[in-house]
Amino acid sequence: MAANEHEAKMAHPRMAAGALFFDAGGRVLMVVPTYKDYWDIPGGYVEIGESPLQAASREVREELGITPTLGRLLAVDWAPSATEGDKVLYLFDGGELAPEAVEDIRPQAEELKTVTFVAPSEIADRTIPRLARRILAAIDARAASAPVYLEHRQAPSDVAA
């Protein structure tokens, strides 16, 4: 196979990374972006030369105005999209935010309408199904102390071959 044929067959997914932050009650920090019609988590696309962890940290700093150290990887999700192209999405553990850190949050007005903590049982009511499943899988992975690999928000054993 010629090099250009091989290159043509290689995947070129976009990557995005975000962080899950929790309060003392186990609620998840969610944001309402100005440019989406559903609730989301802090995060965004990975830029050229940037690792997913660096991107998540940068996005948290830009969106929330805080610089907590992000922890371990909770989930990786391969998300195909006919309209947007394939994506690989990373979720990192932001840990429990101390009350002082929550008070320091300064949402970037151009990107976020509001920031609030949401009980896991309410996440599916606040956001789109694909994101809700990804967040809930990451919460379970955090509790199990083991990252999860997802294909289109489902564990591979749940995906038809």
In a domain, 12, yes or no: no
Per-residue pLDDT tens digits for 65-77: 999 999 999 999 9
**Which CATH number goes with the domain that contains 76?**
3.90.79.10
Containing structural domain, residue 71: 21-154
- For the full predicted model, state whether its pTM sits above 0.85: yes
Per-residue pLDDT tens digits for 75-103: 999 998 888 889 999 999 999 999 999 99
In a domain, 129, yes or no: yes
In a domain, 11, yes or no: no
Which spans in 19-156 are helix H? 52-64, 99-103, 123-126, 129-144
In a domain, 159, yes or no: no
How far apart, in whole angstroms, are the C-alpha atoms of residue 16 and residue 159?
Answer: 22
Q: What is the number of structural domains in the chain?
A: 1
In a domain, 105, yes or no: yes
